[in-house]
Amino acid sequence: MAAPVVSPVRAASNPGQVTIEAPRVADGVACWRLAVATGALDANSRYAYLLWFRDFAETSVVARRDGAVVGFVTGYRRPDEPSTLMVWQVAVSASVRGRGVAAGLLAALADRVPGVAHVEATVTPGNSASEALFSRFARERAAGLVRRELFGSDLLGVGHEPEVLFRIGPLAQQKSGKERE
């Protein structure tokens, strides 16, 4: 398991620093609760999050503050295109929103998974926070961004908006802190 790293997020106003690290299976229920609490995500079962962190811990990250999970990104390598990281869900607790946690999680994940040339995610129309997150990530990585409908309402069912695929890449390698100076 990777050692915790201090995240590139802005300092929280209350005590405790946010760190980003690999998830543990035991984080599954906390992440399920967080997904439900957002009110915006299609929350999977608690069991699914436990399995996710057992099987896809290398392509997922969690944010912690004072030991508690305050954010997560789940992802996986596409089997038919292993250089593409598919971001499944991004969730951040209301207690740390607006402090760059989602951006820090996404950047940390992209940097942590070796050999990633593209990042994909789906966003429903009108989800301006996710649109901004992935658009900014593409700009920061000097990468192209292509949007197209992946799954329409005809497949997802009545009452579900279409899922628009955001394909970002190829990714420019991030420079270390010393190289940026």
The per-residue pLDDT for range 116-156, each reduced to its tens digit, is 999 999 999 989 999 999 999 999 999 999 999 999 989 99
pLDDT(4) > 70: no
Report the pLDDT value the prediction gives residue 40, as an integer from 0 to 100.
Answer: 84
Residue-range domains of the chain with CATH: 5-180 (3.40.630.30)
Nearest partner of 135 among 146, 124, 125, judged by Cα: 146
Nearest partner of 42 among 167, 157, 168, 136, judged by Cα: 157
Residue range 84-111: mean pLDDT, rounded: 95
CA–CA separation, 76 vs 57, rounded Å? 9
CA–CA separation, 154 vs 149, rounded Å? 12
Report the pLDDT value the prediction gives residue 173, as an integer from 0 to 100.
Answer: 66
Give the CA diameter of the chain.
Answer: 52
In terms of DSSP bridges, do strands 118-123 and 81-92 run parallel, antiparallel, or are they unpaired?
parallel
Transcribe 103-116 into DSSP letters: HHHHHHHHHHSTT-
Given a contact cutoff of 8 angstroms between Cβ atoms, the answer to whether 22 and 58 are in contact is yes
Q: What is the pTM of this model?
A: 0.85
Q: How confident is the model at residue 61 (pLDDT cuts 50, 70, 90)?
A: very high
Residue range 20-48: mean pLDDT, rounded: 93
Nearest partner of 134 among 148, 124, 120, judged by Cα: 120
Given a contact cutoff of 8 angstroms between Cβ atoms, the answer to whether 17 and 101 are in contact is no
Better pLDDT: 125 or 39: 125
Of the chain, the percentage scoring pLDDT greater than 90 comes to 75
Q: What is the mean pLDDT of the chain?
A: 88
